[in-house]
Chains A and B, each alone.
Chain A
Amino acid sequence: DQQVKQNSPSLSVQEGRISILNCDYTNSMFDYFLWYKKYPAEGPTFLISISSIKDKNEDGRFTVFLNKSAKHLSLHIVPSQPGDSAVYFCAAPAPSGSARQLTFGSGTQLTVLP
């Protein structure tokens, strides 16, 4: 049972344009969401997060939107840059439990074309 889903395995965008990466979840108990970015041969790094009490969080070129009624979140990158080319994972921590372990989506490979 995949509780966090990223249905687009890949996305290509022209440099300077907007990249929109989507994520859906099934567990209405999730109260916090995170996006991670991963380059090849490196570990994932934290990018941006959003609490379920908000519908938007912005950090520079990166904005995450949360639509709780649709159980959907999206990451907007504007303007996109070639250095943004990476795999992006959305994740949510377990609603209960000792370590708040993260459940990850399958990832979206973003390619920004110069």
Chain B
Amino acid sequence: DVKVTQSSRYLVKRTGEKVFLECVQDMDHENMFWYRQDPGLGLRLIYFSYDVKMKEKGDIPEGYSVSREKKERFSLILESASTNQTSMYLCASSSTALGGELFFGEGSRLTVL
């Protein structure tokens, strides 16, 4: 079974703090993604990566950055957290050669006070 593991299920941070969200996948997938889910807005793509050290902006990259130093690990960074970044963050991975189906982690619920 594909396993995508997100390091923290629940986080509470203060405005201005730096936040790291870590994601690890064990299926040797080349593609990794970060989405956020908000009520009424569905899943919106923040950043994705199709190879180590490669990254591309998604639909809502402002206020975020990412890091992919190893194939299995994709990190989302909030340099200075703001209240409008309170959300559910979902990491996913996929293999284009295998049809591109996304496999998601369980999500990280971030609250910024």
Contact = CB atoms under 8 A, between A and B. Distances in A.
Contacts of B113: none
Interface stretch (B14-22, B77-85, B95-103): B95-103
A59 to B, nearest CB: 14
Nearest to A42: B106
B58 A101 contact: yes
B107 A101 contact: no
A99 B48 contact: yes
Interface in A64-98: 89, 91, 93, 98
Contacts of B50: 98-99
B4 A43 contact: yes
Given A100-B96, A101-B33, A102-B102, A44 B43 contact: yes
A74 to B, nearest CB: 17
A45 B104 contact: yes
Contacts of B4: 43
Interface string B24-48: 0000001101010100111111001
Interface residues of B: mostly helix, strand, loop or mixed? Answer: strand
A106 B106 contact: no
Interface residues of B, number: 32
Interface in B55-113: 56, 58, 90, 92, 94, 96, 100-107, 109
A111 B33 CA distance: 29
Given A99-B96, A101-B48, A89 B106 contact: no
A6 to B, nearest CB: 8
Contact of A43 (B49, B94, B107): B107
B40 A106 contact: yes
A32 B109 CA distance: 30
B56 A105 contact: no
A10 to B, nearest CB: 11
Nearest to A107: B42
Interface of B: 4, 9, 30-31, 33, 35, 37, 40-45, 48-50, 54, 56, 58, 90, 92, 94, 96, 100-107, 109
